Amino acid sequence: MDVDGTMTDGGVTLLSQTEEIALEIKTFDAHDGQGLALAHTAGIRTGCITGRQSSALLRRAREMNMEFIYMKQPLKIPAYEEILRKAGVPESSVAYVGDDLPDLPVMRRVGLAVAVGNAVPEVKKAAHYITDARAGRGAIRETVELILKAKGLWQEMIDQARA
Amino acid sequence: MDVDGTMTDGGVTLLSQTEEIALEIKTFDAHDGQGLALAHTAGIRTGCITGRQSSALLRRAREMNMEFIYMKQPLKIPAYEEILRKAGVPESSVAYVGDDLPDLPVMRRVGLAVAVGNAVPEVKKAAHYITDARAGRGAIRETVELILKAKGLWQEMIDQARA
Amino acid sequence: MDVDGTMTDGGVTLLSQTEEIALEIKTFDAHDGQGLALAHTAGIRTGCITGRQSSALLRRAREMNMEFIYMKQPLKIPAYEEILRKAGVPESSVAYVGDDLPDLPVMRRVGLAVAVGNAVPEVKKAAHYITDARAGRGAIRETVELILKAKGLWQEMIDQARA
Amino acid sequence: MDVDGTMTDGGVTLLSQTEEIALEIKTFDAHDGQGLALAHTAGIRTGCITGRQSSALLRRAREMNMEFIYMKQPLKIPAYEEILRKAGVPESSVAYVGDDLPDLPVMRRVGLAVAVGNAVPEVKKAAHYITDARAGRGAIRETVELILKAKGLWQEMIDQARA
């Protein structure tokens, strides 16, 4: 999945006292976090590919036990292909969630291309599924549910949820 | 009550310069705060059970004079049962407000199970009452008002409000 | 005017590494800021009364050239009466903007009581005017415009705006 | 373009422990950022004029490769005229995006005056185009798309997007 505008609402929040030292603040979504936890419980492996670098993302991704974390990727295909190799899965088994033009090359290749509810028109057109939820407000959770329900795993996941 | 997605809008906001040192920022709601203050004035005891740990929550909870604060609780039932013992009240006298799957086990036992307006469908289904307000935007206040009005205490509370 | 839920959207945002040292983050609105600047240009004097204490508010209030700043006021009437004395104006010349129960005692006395668009029902009922704008998203600007237009001063203010 | 209420949603967010040391937090939009990157790829030169000073803006503006950055400008015309001289372009070739009264003098002179979707009425009236998007949520992106589509450059830009 993408990060800014997909795992977050697209807000790029900067806090800085001097131009040299700037901190980036990122806001993730608790429902998305629960969705990722359930995905992992069900054996789904997750990762993100983003153009930015952020220790807040790194922390959240590790906290969420994401397996693949690629930052500073102006183009997403190289990271995507490395993930494919490492995971040893066919492209048809991969789902990718995105919101903007840099996500298009990956979305055109994966088995399930998902656009967040407020993705740009070009991304919505390229998607197999468009979430009702907006980015940073449950789009990842909705995607996980879609997959787990399709696999008939959702009901048994409900009672395995941990806070 | 739950915290993330119940007392807050579910945003998990991280600020970090290095991955090791991350600060969590939490946004609570002033109307909810007023609601909690009125609840305490009316003799209602309050507490929260959450999976995360956060000094921002701890500070807000103490500022609000919450009596029971349980953090780092992947499962909520043990903390819930400890609160029951300490408070010495029957389950039928307890209200619980939640938004996501980990809240279900407690919601199935309390006398008044409340889902915030943007709770997940499973939680809404398990609730006796669903607030009009969204999480972090008055859901707690609405719950307190519901209880105080049912007890016929709301009118006299209005003039006792403090800023 | 009130602060939390009136000059801000009611979010009480805390950032803390330890429970002892907590920073409060406040978000004000640029349109409201422009409104206050225009009010001052037109000779209107402004101030705020709030139950909380916050250096972020203090900074914003001074940046905005507010004349009266009262923090840590659990009851608002004493501060209100001190402002009346210092300003030397009759109550009928005072406008007050608020959103929650602690604002009611002042609202019942001023010449123009204004409730923000998302005020609680009791406050809306006590108001002479309810803004279309929500708190922290233009409610103050709308109130200033209401007053300046009633005084026939709005048109000449437009060209005096400074960024 | 303007900054607060145009590149951001107008929130003026302050974090401070003491009144003397206050940090300003600014939230920009990832879609707007992508729009600016595409504008630059297409050879459009960009800049901002704002009344405030903020190292967060400075950082974002440089990260986005904006060419003209003018802060602390209570009046916007002097900075605008300096940009015109430096850029060596006629006013008819300039587009300006704004939201509030201080933007009016520049908007009355440029070839394409754009108001963000939630601009104040006076600014909307002075605009050639009003974005569907709100400030800080894609208004800049929409303006860039409008220009690139009018120039027939949008389609070729899509595949040049970088994350």
**Residue A28 contacts B, CB cutoff 8 Å:** yes
In the predicted model, what is the mean pLDDT of residues B135-144? Answer: 98
Q: Do B31 and C73 touch (CB under 8 A)?
A: no
pLDDT digits (tens, 9 = 90+) for B91-121: 999 999 999 999 999 999 999 999 999 999 9
**Band of the pLDDT at A23, cuts 50, 70, 90?**
confident
**Residue D77 contacts C, CB cutoff 8 Å:** no
Q: What is the 3-state secondary structure (H, E, C) of A88-121?
A: CCCHHHCEEEECCHHHHHHHCCCCEEEECCCCCH
In the predicted model, what is the mean pLDDT of residues C148-154? Answer: 96
**Residue C77 contacts B, CB cutoff 8 Å:** no
Strand, coil or helix: what is C138?
coil
Instruction: Count CB atoms within 10 A of the CB of residue B46.
Output: 19
pLDDT of residue C88: 97
Residue C137 confidence (pLDDT) above 90: yes
In the predicted model, what is the mean pLDDT of residues C107-119? Answer: 98
Query: What are the structure tokens assigned to A95, written together?
Result: 């789902």
Q: In what order do the strands lie in the sheet with B112-115?
A: B95-98, B112-115, B129-130
Which of A28, A34, A136 lies closest to B101 in CB terms? A34
Q: Do B14 and A33 touch (CB under 8 A)?
A: no
As a dihedral over the C-alpha atoms of residue A55, residue A60, residue A63, residue A68, rounded to 10 degrees, the angle is: -80
In the predicted model, what is the mean pLDDT of residues A100-115? Answer: 98
Neighbours of chain D (3+ CB pairs under 8 A): A, C
Distance from chain centroid for Cα B132: 15
Which of A15, A137, A159 lies closest to B15 in CB terms? A15
In contact, D31 and D141? CB cutoff 8 Å: yes
pLDDT of residue A21: 72
**Residue B52 contacts C, CB cutoff 8 Å:** no
Q: Do C163 and D51 touch (CB under 8 A)?
A: yes
Q: Do D27 and A18 touch (CB under 8 A)?
A: no
Q: Do B100 and A162 touch (CB under 8 A)?
A: no
Query: What are the structure tokens assigned to D118, written together?
Result: 């939630």
**Residue B15 contacts A, CB cutoff 8 Å:** yes
Which of B25, B51, B120 lies closest to A31 in CB terms? B120
Which of B27, B34, B163 lies closest to C13 in CB terms? B27
Residue A17 confidence (pLDDT) above 90: no
Residue D141 confidence (pLDDT) above 80: yes
pLDDT of residue D19: 65
Residues of B in contact with C134 (CB under 8 A): none
Provide the shortest C-alpha distance from residue D156 to chain A (in Å): 12
pLDDT digits (tens, 9 = 90+) for B10-60: 999 999 777 667 788 999 999 999 999 999 999 999 999 999 999 999 999
Q: Look at the pTM and tell me if it is higher than 0.90.
A: yes
**Residue D162 contacts A, CB cutoff 8 Å:** yes
pLDDT of residue D21: 73
pLDDT digits (tens, 9 = 90+) for D15-46: 977 766 778 899 999 999 999 999 999 999 99
Strand, coil or helix: what is C116?
coil
Residue A19 confidence (pLDDT) above 70: no
Provide the shortest C-alpha distance from residue D92 to chain C (in Å): 23
**Residue C22 contacts B, CB cutoff 8 Å:** yes
pLDDT of residue C19: 65
Provide the shortest C-alpha distance from residue B40 to chain A (in Å): 27
Residues of C in contact with D50 (CB under 8 A): 163
pLDDT digits (tens, 9 = 90+) for C26-75: 999 999 999 999 999 999 999 999 999 999 999 999 999 999 999 999 99
Neighbours of chain B (3+ CB pairs under 8 A): A, C
Which of D21, D34, D55 lies closest to A19 in CB terms? D55
Residue C123 confidence (pLDDT) above 80: yes
Residues of C in contact with B31 (CB under 8 A): 5, 10, 99-100, 120
pLDDT digits (tens, 9 = 90+) for D97-129: 999 999 999 999 999 999 999 999 999 999 999
Residues of C in contact with D73 (CB under 8 A): 163
E strands present in chain B = 11-16, 22-29, 47-49, 68-70, 95-98, 112-115, 129-130
**Residue C115 contacts B, CB cutoff 8 Å:** no
Identify the structural domains of chain D with CATH numbers, from first to last. 13-158 (3.40.50.1000)
pLDDT of residue A73: 97
Q: Do C59 and D19 touch (CB under 8 A)?
A: yes
pLDDT of residue C25: 94
Q: What distance in Å separates the CA atoms of residue A144 and residue A140, rounded to the nearest whole number?
A: 6
Q: Which of A15-19, A64-68, B40-44, D86-90 has the lowest mean pLDDT?
A: A15-19
Instruction: Tell me which of C3, C6, C8, C13 to substitute to probe the interface with B (most B C-beta atoms closer than 10 Å).
Output: C13
